[in-house]
Amino acid sequence: MTASLPVPNDIDPEEPDRHSSARVVRISDTVSQPSEKPRRPARPPRQGGKSAPRKKRSAAAPVDPGPPPPLPSDLEIAASVAAAIIVPPKPPLPTEAPPAASAPETTAVEESVPAVEESVPVEQATTAPDAPTVETAPAPAPPAPPVSEPVVAPPAPVEAETEAQPEDEASPHAPVVVPTLGAAAGEALVLRGVTKRFGSTHAVDGIDLTVPAGTFYGLVGPNGAGKTTTLSMIAGLLEPDRGTIEVAGVDAAAHPLAAKKLMGVLPDRLRTFDRLTGRQLLYYYGVLRGLPPAVVESRTTDLARAFDLQEALGRSVSDYSAGMLKKVMLAGAMIHSPRLLVLDEPFEAVDPVSSAIILDILSAYVAHGGTVILSSHGMELVERVCTRVAVIVAGQVLAEGTVDEVRGELTLEQRFVELAGGLSDVEGLEWLHTFSG
Ligand X SMILES: Nc1ncnc2c1ncn2[C@@H]1O[C@H](COP(=O)(O)OP(=O)(O)OP(=O)(O)O)[C@@H](O)[C@H]1O
Interface with ligand X (CB under 6 A), residue from 95, 223, 424, 436: 223
Interface with ligand X (CB under 6 A), residue from 201, 310, 321, 414: 201
Min dist. Cβ of residue 268 to ligand X (A): 7
Task: Restricting to residues 229-288, name those near ligand X by CB under 6 A.
Answer: 229
Contact present, 391 and 419 (Cβ < 8 Å): yes
Contacts with ligand X by CB under 6 A: the residue count is: 11
User: Which is closer to ligand X, CB of 32 or CB of 201?
Assistant: 201
Min dist. Cβ of residue 240 to ligand X (A): 13
**Is position 165 an interface residue for ligand X (rule: CB under 6 A)?**
no
φ/ψ (deg, to 5) at 338: -75, 170
User: Which is closer to ligand X, CB of 196 or CB of 261?
Assistant: 196
Distances (CA, A) of 160 to 183, 250, 340, 378, 402: 9, 9, 16, 36, 29
Interface with ligand X (CB under 6 A), residue from 88, 214, 221, 332: 221
CA-based angle 420:424:425, to the nearest 5?
A: 160
CA-based angle 220:221:226, to the nearest 5?
A: 105
421: left (phi over 0), alpha (psi -120 to 50) or beta: left
Among candidate residues 216, 182, 200, the one with its CA nearest the CA of residue 363: 216
- 175-178/250-251 β-pairing: unpaired
**Is position 215 an interface residue for ligand X (rule: CB under 6 A)?**
no
Question: Which x/- pattern, by CB under 6 A, does the window 171-200 give for ligand X?
Answer: ---------------------------x--
Min dist. Cβ of residue 228 to ligand X (A): 3
Min dist. Cβ of residue 88 to ligand X (A): 43
**Is position 326 an interface residue for ligand X (rule: CB under 6 A)?**
no
Interatomic CA distance for residues 358 and 304, integer angstroms: 12
Interface with ligand X (CB under 6 A), residue from 84, 203, 296, 328: 203
Length of the chain equals 437
Cβ neighbours of 63 (radius 10 Å): 10
**Is position 127 an interface residue for ligand X (rule: CB under 6 A)?**
no
Which positions touch ligand X (CB under 6 A)? 198, 201, 203, 221, 223-229
